[in-house]
Chains A and B, each alone.
Chain A
Amino acid sequence: MDTTPATALGRARRCIQIRLQKSRPYPEKNFVNPIKATTMDEVQLSIAASALQRIHEVASNSRYREALQWSMWRVVGSTTLRLPPLFKLPSWILDRLEDEEYVSHLSPATVVALVAVSFRARHKMHTVGNLAIIRALCQRMNNPTVPWAQLVIAVFDRLLLDNWSPHYIDNLVQTQSNDLENMILKRKLHRDEGLWLSSTLSELCGEGLLSSEKPFLIGICLATLLDDAPKWGPSKPP
């Protein structure tokens, strides 16, 4: 029996379906269906993140676009959007971190967003001075109780520990190396925070900024899934 759709629209739709199936050579048809809704979210988030990055690049290195820049990294630094892969802070924003008065006017949420995005500014962060400034920003928040802020600071401390000798950072780092793992298990991360943590650590590790310490990274993976596992159940009710 010929199943070719009668309309051009139907045929076009079928071509797209076939093409999508070819680009997604997964052997299980049952596997694709349950993830449709979340897949759409993920595609939209990636598109939104790319759009933000494009706007950011157009406005980069221009002080006249300062308000736009601040808004950009604040949005991107939050957990609601994934950080675009190559997103970097313009150098002049990092330079302003040395201006204590300017920084003092920032809200704690803005400071956390700044620290989260600053992981991408490796070229500027690789001096003890800049790391110290960013860590001092974290300390100004006086032991934040917001889980997202604690998570960002813990990751930052880990980055410090991996990149600088204890001689330089003894006074800076407060988070112990296994605190991040304990934090995940105690605090119950939100979905976006878990995604942010695993992707940020992957990127830092991929770029060689974390010393590929396998037990530490496996511990984080394990804690992330253990945190999530009590919610798991079958896709279809029995």
Chain B
Amino acid sequence: MPRNGVLPNPPDIFLLERVVTLAAISCPPDRAYRLNILAKSRQCPWLLLNLRNPDLISILLKDAPDSCRERLITLLFLVLYALICRDSTPLADQYFAIIAAEGELPLYISALTAIAPYIGHDGLSEIGTMLAPPRTQELNESGFNKPTTVQEELLKMYDLQLGASVNPGPNIFATLLMLSKYPPSGTTEE
């Protein structure tokens, strides 16, 4: 279904390259390092040298001040979803590994809430599945028949990381509502 009345297109890969370059260049105080990133983007933009180098993002995330950490994670989720849309799975996996190594679930949920209106159910579901993959097989073996959903896994992760006594924040409710807004395509077909 077209989102916002616009037929979907694969994300613009050159825009992604430029955005990753700008984000990477915002970090280091070392001028030579910045110029090196810039030169890669200037000389052969079609080689996507900065987008294809997740180490830049790793450095960026490690040095990020707390004031912009959430926005940076939000940005990286968007890059991640764009790569998934482009079927660039191995690179998306590398980006996800970097994000997963540097954050915590409340931060992820907050970031997801910020981008939910823009990426819709599909995007939210893709990223949610990466954050909390449904453990279908494990549950079947232990006697349950129905597969778990992303929503259930997110709540379980929330409990595991924060303890069952902590009340869920508004962001997780917003994310769960967004995920529940449309049923997964498999269930509607049935």
Residues of A within 8 A of B (CB): 23-24, 26-28, 30-31, 34-35, 38-39, 42-43, 46, 85, 191, 194-195, 198-199, 201-203, 205-206, 208, 212-215, 217-222, 224-226, 228-236, 238
B124 shortest CB reach to chain A, Å: 12
Q: Are A38 and B22 in contact (CB under 8 A)?
A: no
Residues A85 and B88 in contact, CB atoms below 8 Å apart: no
B46:A42 contact, CB within 8 angstroms: yes
Other than A85-B42, A194-B18, A230-B6, give 7 A-B pairs with Cβ distance below 8 A: A38-B14, A199-B41, A203-B38, A231-B3, A231-B11, A235-B10, A238-B185
Asked whether B19 is an interface residue with its Cβ less than 8 Å from the other chain, the reply is yes
Is B156 on the interface with A (CB-CB < 8 A)? Answer: no
Central interface residue in A205, A212, A217, A218, by most chain B CB within 10 Å: A218
**A205 proximity list for chain B (CB < 8 A):** 22, 25-26, 34
Which of A24, A27, A198, A234: most chain B Cβ within 10 A? A198
Residue in A38, A212, A217, A232 whose CB lies within 8 Å of B82: A232
Tell me the nearest residue of chain B to A26, going by C-beta: B52
Question: B residues within 8 A CB of A46?
Answer: 45-46
Q: What string of 1s and 0s marks CB contacts (under 8 Å) between B82-101 and chain A?
A: 10011111110000000000
Contacts of A199 on B, CB cut-off 8 Å?
18, 21-22, 41
B75: interface (CB < 8 Å): yes
Report whether B119 and A232 are in contact in the complex, using a CB–CB cutoff of 8 Å.
yes
Interface residues of B in 45-65 (CB under 8 A from A): 45-48, 52, 64-65
Contact of B27 with A234 in the complex, beta carbons under 8 Å:
no
| CB of A11 to closest CB in B, whole Å | 25
Are B118 and A226 neighbours in the complex by a CB distance under 8 Å?
A: yes
- Which of B's residues lie within 8 Å of A, judged by CB? 3-4, 6-16, 18-19, 21-23, 25-27, 29, 31, 34-35, 37-38, 41-43, 45-48, 52, 64-65, 67-68, 71-72, 74-75, 78-79, 81-82, 85-91, 115, 118-120, 122-123, 185
A28 — which chain B residues lie within 8 A by C-beta? Answer: 87-91
Bound CA span A24–B81, Å: 23
8 examples of A-B residue contacts, CB within 8 angstroms: A28-B87, A30-B87, A217-B25, A218-B23, A225-B75, A230-B6, A233-B10, A234-B87
- From A38, A42, A202, A232, contact of B38 by CB (8 A): A202
Contact in complex: B79, A225 (CB < 8 Å):
yes
Interface of A (DSSP majority class): helix
Please, which residue of chain B has its CB at the minimum distance from the CB of A45?
B45
**Contacting residue for A195 out of B18, B68, B71, B88, CB 8 A:** B18
3 nearest A-B pairs in the assembled complex, by CB-CB distance: A233-B8, A217-B26, A198-B18
* A31 with B46: CB separation less than 8 A: no
Cα–Cα, bound, A219→B27 (Å):
13
Q: Which among A24, A27, A191, A233 is the interface contact of B85 at CB below 8 angstroms?
A: A233
- Give the complex CA separation of A162 and B31 in angstroms: 17
CA distance A39 to B13 in the complex (A): 9
A35 touches B22 (CB 8 A): no
Asked if B75 contacts A221 (CB within 8 A), the reply is yes
A236: B residues at CB distance < 8 A: 87
Contacting pair A206 B35 (CB below 8 A): yes
Q: Are A230 and B3 in contact (CB under 8 A)?
A: yes
Q: Is the pair B75, A35 in contact by a Cβ cutoff of 8 Å?
A: no
Residues of B contacting A203 in the complex (Cβ-Cβ under 8 angstroms): 38
* Complex Cα–Cα for A120 and B58 (A): 31
Chain A residues with CB under 8 Å of B72's CB are: 218
A235 contacts B118, C-beta separation under 8 Å: no
